[in-house]
Amino acid sequence: MVVGDFPIETDTIVIGAGPGGYVAAIRAAQLGQKVTIVEKEYVGGVCLNVGCIPSKALIATGHRYETAKHSDKFGITAENVKVDFTKVQEFKAGVVQKLTSGVEGLLKGNKVEIVRGEAFFVDSQSLKVMTEKSSQTYNFKNAIIATGSRPIELPAFKYSKRVLNSTGALNLAEVPQKIVVIGGGVIGIELGTAYANFGTQITILEGAEEILGVGFEKQMSALVKRSLKKKGAEIYTKAMAKGVEESENGVIVTAEIKGEEKKFEADYVFVMVGRRPNTDEMGLEQAGVKVSERGLIEIDKQCRTNVSNIYAIGDVTAGPQLAHKASYEAKIAAEAIAGHTSVIDYVGIPAVVFSDPELATVGYTEKDAEDAGIEVITAKFPYAGNGRALSLDSTDGFVKLVTNKEDGVVIGAQIAGANASDIISELGMAVEAGMTAEDIALTIHAHPTLGEMTMEAAEVALGSPIHVLK
């Protein structure tokens, strides 16, 4: 039976319930707006369901297995360490379920109406939410587009039983013996590392000169490359994947590497060459919203599109495709709708790779500063000089500060090493707050912790290090 379509009035309608959309909906509701959120697939979006969260659960279990097998130097040995991959997947699913149900509870607790279906703009003040059985019109004062992105599918590598995108890679029923990963970016490296820790033979094919080439310095990616090779991985750069032959039991991937054709046999091939914005097939042209050739929506400093009452956040806009970028923009958009003067400022936005070792960066790199004509002082402190890192047997890596030579203000930081994803938050706050190296050096850090290295690096920047020689 088709439900009658009588328009429903709402103040703000949010399209997409990922880390951008659900945050926007909650903040808008907190600011007194009547909010409707539309989701066509699952609350929590890609990040919570088939991205950030499940991949980290898989990475964590891979680390547990690797630790169980290789703790001899600690005086701990274990026999017949096995992986029950069904239980691994159950653990991962449990983490996802807790978070997604929690998000749904938060939306309902903030009196946000959750509507299932696909949204199509009718004009700049109304849209239809479609399901197989119904069509409902919503009239809105403001709309926030937060529809995220999807994996790019290569013409020569159509997704199938053995040609997988990140979603398929996360949901395998068993630990494969061999995998070819096309793309040495963040997603390819993270999932490649996760399976390498389970004992899978990994081959990475990257078209650029380096893995993790965008946003991470070569000295950082070099540590990851070395670690992967220790796990038995083969890494080919300047490698162009040409095609795949698929059989019932595996694949043969053909690639051109430095002018020579090579073939790689594997159980699966993971295609991880980037993501494209979900801005097609939602009627943006009906609303008058401008979209670039790449499918990105242009926004101003308040996440407003060229149509004054329609906003866009997250992967549908330019910039790094990061969940925390989407959440940050979500708050700006909701506050702008409420009449606040909030504007976006990306200087303190961190980026993290959950590789071995972890990588994290925030603000300017040394090269960024050089390109911007800023004279800087860089200061590094090695993990090998930190007591906590030694006790963890995690001595690969460093903390690096980039400070303005003129006034000592911290304008950037890079970390390669254990728990870099956690340590970077302090340095992100330092960049955001305009703190100096002296501010960090004068902050008493607990001992023994990995966090002490930020203080140590700050002392290096000031020219008065204690635990490394000048």
Residues recognised as catalytic: 447
Residues in the chain: 470
Q: Is 148 annotated as a binding residue?
A: yes
Q: Is 32 annotated as a binding residue?
A: no
Q: Is 182 annotated as a binding residue?
A: no
**Three-state SS at 142:** strand
Q: Is 40 annotated as a binding residue?
A: no
Give the separation between CA 273 and CA 469, rounded to whole angstroms. 43
**Three-state SS at 251:** strand
Question: What single letter denotes the amino acid at residue 349?
Answer: I
Give the separation between CA 144 and CA 25, rounded to whole angstroms. 9
Half-sphere exposure of 316 (CA within 13 A, CB side): 30
The two structure tokens encoding residue 40: 């066509």
The two structure tokens encoding residue 156: 């020569």
Give the separation between CA 436 and CA 451, rounded to whole angstroms. 17
Strand partners, 416: 359, 398
Residue 203: its H or E element: strand 201-205
Q: Is 189 annotated as a binding residue?
A: yes
Contact yes or no for 13/38 (Cβ under 8 A) = yes
**Three-state SS at 88:** helix
The two structure tokens encoding residue 108: 């309902």
Q: Is 185 annotated as a binding residue?
A: yes
Q: Is 232 annotated as a binding residue?
A: no
Q: Is 459 annotated as a binding residue?
A: no
Q: Is 234 annotated as a binding residue?
A: no
286: number of Cβ within 10 Å = 14
Write the CB contacts of 219 (distance below 8 Å, at least 6 apart in sequence).
Answer: 416
Q: Is 358 annotated as a binding residue?
A: no
Q: Is 319 annotated as a binding residue?
A: no
Among 42, 40, 46, smallest CA distance to 120 is for 40
Q: Is 337 annotated as a binding residue?
A: no
Q: Is 339 annotated as a binding residue?
A: no
Extract the annotated binding site for NAD(+). Answer: 183-190, 206, 274
Extract the annotated binding site for FAD. Answer: 56, 147-149, 315
Extract the annotated binding site. Answer: 56, 147-149, 183-190, 206, 274, 315
